[in-house]
Amino acid sequence: MQAGRENLSLQDSANLLLEECRTILPGIQALFGFQLIAIFSDGFDEKLDFADQILHLAAIVLVAVAIVLIMTPAAYHRQTGPMKVEAGFIELASRAALWAMIALMLGLTLEFYIVATVILPHMLWPAPMAALFLGFIFLCWFIVPRQRAHKDSPAESRRN
């Protein structure tokens, strides 16, 4: 075990995980609110063709799924054992948070693409720009943390 890399107790791990979820939720909710407002704005149906409106709906669904997933750990814990923390809860909550990040990543990318098509109509840039944006999020949220976790893991656990 490396210095400064001690294992957390189940209670500390749960507290940290729930705090992470509480930190992420307001940003997701703000995005969701803006997505809903856009639909009722003047010119929504004029600026976006039907295909882009469907993409916007898909982005709304993905962000809604992210909200549900990021709130799942708290709802699950409150109903299954508010006075105890088990390893299974940490695993379920971690998976829910990661799936929420995937849904959010895809929803953000779709919205990025839609905004780019409105700003840069009749250009080929929106799709490559959205793909680069998706790659950037994937790098920041998944590749870098996993490389760091692999680097910080003890050598014997890497061999197994």
Domain ranges, residue 87: 10-154
81 part of a folded domain: yes
4 part of a folded domain: no
Kindly state the tokens that stand for 48: 């976006």
127 part of a folded domain: yes
8 Å CB contact between 110 and 38: no
Q: Is the pLDDT of residue 42 over 70?
A: yes
C-beta atoms surrounding 91 within 10 Å? 10
90 part of a folded domain: yes
Residue whose entry in the numeric block shows the structure tokens 């992210």: 66
79 part of a folded domain: yes
Number of domains in the chain: 1
List pLDDT tens digits, range 95-125: 999 999 999 999 999 999 999 999 998 889 9
Range 63-74 average pLDDT: 94
Question: What is the C-alpha separation between 15 and 13, in angstroms, rounded?
Answer: 5
Quote the crossing angle between the two packed helices 87-119 and 126-138, to the nearest 10°.
160
C-beta atoms surrounding 106 within 10 Å? 19
150 part of a folded domain: yes
142 part of a folded domain: yes
Q: Is the pLDDT of residue 32 over 80?
A: yes
146 part of a folded domain: yes
pTM over 0.75? The answer is yes
